[in-house]
């Protein structure tokens, strides 16, 4: 029987001390689409959250202000948790952070840790496209 095997570009990244991992399947073009789409949406929604935080501080007592800020921060981190699970799969945040609602600082650490994988993949794709472009023109690569 003949067989065909397709080489895959999948990164398995261990995310906790329990041996759990997340998978970055760079052959699934929906992954970078979802990832960069999430970052773009976060950037546009940043203004909305900043306005909400500043609104929480206006003309309120310290107790009211504290309650509003805590709720706004909680809502922001629920938003980020849900966005991460939507991009990387249900349960990603539980694997990465445990059974807590992670802080903004934890989310930023996660994004910083992922950045090199996406940058490496982007570089790989550019090099691959450059190689094909040179062949198409008849140049040597």
Residue 103 placed within a domain: yes
CB-based burial of residue 110 (10 Å sphere; 0-12 exposed, 13-18 middle, 19+ buried)? buried
The residue ranges of DSSP E strands in the chain, in sequence order, are: 10-14, 21-25
Task: Give the residue-averaged pLDDT of 115-140.
Answer: 80
Count of the separate structural domains present in the chain = 1
Residue 52 lies in a domain: yes
Residue 3 falls within a domain, yes or no? no
Pairwise pLDDT comparison (132 vs 29), residue with the higher score? 29
What's the predicted TM-score (pTM) here?
0.79
Q: Is residue 99 part of a domain?
A: yes
Give residue 18's domain range. Answer: 11-114
Q: Is residue 17 domain-resident?
A: yes
Q: Does 19 map to a domain?
A: yes
pLDDT of 140 higher than 80: no
The per-residue pLDDT of the chain, averaged, comes to: 88
Beta partners for residue 23, in sequence order: 12
Contact 83, 41 (CB under 8 A): yes
Asked if the structure places residue 97 within a domain, the reply is yes
For residue 48, pLDDT over 70 is answered with: yes
| Alpha carbon 69 to chain centroid, angstroms | 25
Q: Is residue 105 part of a domain?
A: yes
Tell me the mean pLDDT in the region 62-71. 78
pLDDT at 109 over 70: yes
Whose CA is closest to 57, among 66, 46, 48, 47?
Answer: 66
């Amino acid at each position: 029987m003949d067989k065909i095997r397709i080489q895959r570009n999948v990164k398995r990244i261990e995310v906790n001390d329990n041996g759990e991992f997340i998978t970055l399947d760079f052959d699934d073009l929906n992954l970078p689409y979802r990832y960069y789409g999430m970052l773009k949406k976060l950037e546009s929604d940043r203004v909305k959250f900043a306005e909400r935080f500043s609104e929480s501080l206006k003309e309120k007592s310290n107790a009211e202000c504290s309650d509003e800020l805590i709720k706004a921060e909680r809502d922001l981190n629920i938003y980020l948790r849900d966005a991460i699970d939507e991009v990387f799969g249900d349960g990603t945040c539980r694997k990465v952070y445990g059974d807590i609602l992670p802080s903004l600082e934890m989310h930023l650490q996660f994004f910083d840790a992922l950045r090199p994988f996406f940058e490496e993949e982007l570089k790989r794709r550019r090099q691959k496209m450059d190689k094909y472009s040179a062949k198409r023109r008849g140049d040597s690569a």
